[in-house]
Chain A
Amino acid sequence: MTDLKDIVEQIDQLEPIPPIAAQILALTEDPDSSLAEISDLILNDPALTANLLKTCNSAFFSFPRQVESVRDAISLMGLDQIVEIVLFNGLSAGFKKEMVGYGLGERELWRHAVSSAHVAGILADRFGASQNKHLIYTAALVKDIGKLILGRFVAFSYEQINILVQSQGQSFNDAEHEIIGMNHEELGALVGKKWNFSDKMIYIIRHHHLSDESARQDLETALVYLADIICMMMGICTGADGLSYRFYGDVLNQMNMSEHDLQGIIAEAGKNQQQVEMLLNL
């Protein structure tokens, strides 16, 4: 077994999320926060303002006129989209790296993250509480942050992990825990703690594969889980771990999600994938 200290020490080597992204994250989770608060935050960061205006004026959005101010940008695009862009700017560098242990090439974990966030947004609209949409979207985006560190340890132990998965039917995250001593959920929660994520966000990261029975009762965690497995089923940048995670049909039943609903969501997400691909290049 790897010395867990070696793994945990790596958290400090991760390029941290910019403080502004963390602050905006916190504001969007707070149902009482206002548009003005968020635009003030962005305005106080010249680099972010510049970046935001550049993105808004890019060919992707092709607005009929030049976007000249943060307020302008927010009124044209809506707060959701602005938050998305800020988060993307803050998070994408780490997620775009190649992850050998998980069999993911450059940008593949990022594609998976953005796609699952998109699916989580669809699920939140339909099955969640709407005030938590940002939380669910963002949690789906960052849930695999532990993989950024654990990848190299998985690479080292892949054979052993794979034996537990293929011949004993263990899920990939359980096998990670057994062989390495820690899985990407546990490590991701430690990263979230270090980066001052909210307790709820840390909880979702820690339990997004729902191994823990009580987590299956938590709506937001369950929706992030569903978004993840839907992307696996769609084959969106599934790597070495493939679809080797446990399915909990009861979670779908609790939400009154039928097989018909599941197929409908996959179809909708598939239809939107082209749009998601464009987001990846922002």
Chain B
Amino acid sequence: MEQNQMKANAVSMMTAVNFSEMKISRNPAETLVAFSIGSGIGVTVFDPVSSVGGLFNFMLPDSTQATGVNPEKVPLMFADTGVPFFVQALFEQGIQLDRMKVVIAGGAHIMDQTGLFNIGEKNYGALKNGLANYDVTIHHEDIGGTNSRKLSLEIGSGSSCIKIFGQAEVKV
């Protein structure tokens, strides 16, 4: 992560977005990247009119389930607290709901990790619920399976890229 980040910073204005973080940018030369997403989910949002985009990378579905962590300090760790936080920050940058292009990737699981312990699936459910509160449509999703994913957003073009090791990059 860190090495990637340094290399990236040197050549092309890539900004890493680690888990429990979000970044919002209007710099057309910048690309926001979540390098390694497991059961968590990365969400990219782009508004072509204001040319503002953001990436939000969360890990868990439900802040009320996490003991030992104060969700007010790390709202972006969870879908339920992170989505409103992210959306609010996007509004402040002039993004409008009806123009938002949303791409999500992640929610993977360990093989046979079904039922209660499938946190990837729960993350997906919690994210959809969270976005539904704002009536947001997801334009493209790549969810589940047992691969980790890299998700990036080029602010210049508004394109999101999803990459799984050994597979071709998907650009949307």
Q: Which residues of B contact A252 (CB under 8 A)?
A: 117
Measured as residues with beta carbon below 8 angstroms from the partner, the interface class of chain B is: 35 or more
Chain B residue numbers with a CB within 8 Å of A270 are: 19-20, 59-60, 69, 74, 77
Cβ of A236 under 8 Å from chain B: yes
Q: Which residue of A lies closest to B166 (CB)?
A: A162
Interface positions, chain A 226-264, Cβ under 8 Å from B, are: 229, 232-240, 242-249, 252, 259-260, 262-264
**CB distance B59 to A266 under 8 Å?**
yes
Interface with A: B32-40, B88-96, B154-162, which one? Answer: B32-40
Residue A94 at the B interface, CB < 8 A?
no
**Also in contact, A243 and B110, with CB within 8 A (given A108-B3, A234-B39, A235-B148):** yes
Q: Which of B20, B106, B165 contacts A240 (CB 8 A)?
A: B165
Q: How many residues of A contact B (CB 8 A)?
A: 44
- Assembly CA distance A252 to B116 (angstroms): 11
B11 within 8 A of A: no
Q: Which residues of B lie under 8 Å from residue A239 when comparing CB positions?
A: 148, 165
Given the interface pairs A108-B3, A235-B39, the reply to whether A245 lies near B62 with Cβ below 8 Å is no
Establish whether residues B39 and A233, one from each chain, have CB atoms under 8 Å apart when the complex forms.
yes
Q: Are A245 and B110 in contact (CB under 8 A)?
A: yes
Known: A105-B3, A237-B1, A270-B59. A247 touches B112 (CB 8 A): yes
Contact A264 B68 (CB under 8 A): yes
Q: Which of A107, A165, A245, A277 touches B3 (beta carbons < 8 Å)? A: A107
Chain B interfacial positions (CB closer than 8 Å to A):
1-4, 18-20, 36-40, 59-62, 65-69, 74, 77, 106, 108-117, 119-120, 146-148, 164-166
